[in-house]
Structure 1
Amino acid sequence: VINHKPYDHKADVFSFAIVLWELVTSKVPYENLTPLQAALSVRQGLRLVIPSGVHPRISKLIQRCWGENPNTRPVFSEITAELEDILQPIQAASSSKGGHRHTKQKIQMKTQR
């Protein structure tokens, strides 16, 4: 979209990467840039720094979603499957501790903020 190419779902995937970055960092993206500066910087390949403490698979997913080439970005069905796959061991660990039924609810509450 920034490069004046036709809009498609790949732009939404890029935006999702930014939202996912916000969720894992609790920060405002490009907070020191004006909207125009941020758009131009993204166009030139600038990406946000993903902290080293972020789950490696989440980090990789973010990078795939905001990839410079829109054609290599995953579709949302792939993104959903990957997130569910990442969540399974967390839910299993939580259920073994008796907290399974609340895990998904807590995640949904965090994503609604």
Structure 2
Amino acid sequence: MNRQRRRTAERKEQKARTKTYNLTETQLQVYVRQAIERELKNSHEEAMNESTNTAMILLLTLPLEVLMDHYWPKSYAKKIPEFTSYVLEYYERWQNGELDMDELKEDLWTYGGVRLEVEE
């Protein structure tokens, strides 16, 4: 077999391995819409995970910084680990449904003077 025939045979073999689909315009639009919806769902979940992680970091770091700077400047090295474990314990209790968000908000308003409300 000469070189030209060999190359022709290779091209035919490559075309034989390539799958070809015939779709109507409607079928193609449905496929594209489904692909876009999957991508949007994945990006939404990724954004939710990232925002949850950011919220958890802020939940722990901001109170720690305030306690270290203003309340326990000399003894924070001893008190911070215990405080952090209590915060994580309360967070787990909230996840398990043992703590009510409305009661926590009410305590924040009563004792902290801050009211958190969800805007629609």
Could you tell me the TM-score, scaled by structure 1's length? 0.31
Could you tell me the TM-score, scaled by structure 2's length? 0.29
Larger RCO, structures 1/2 (Cα 8 Å, 6+ apart): 1
Larger radius of gyration: 2
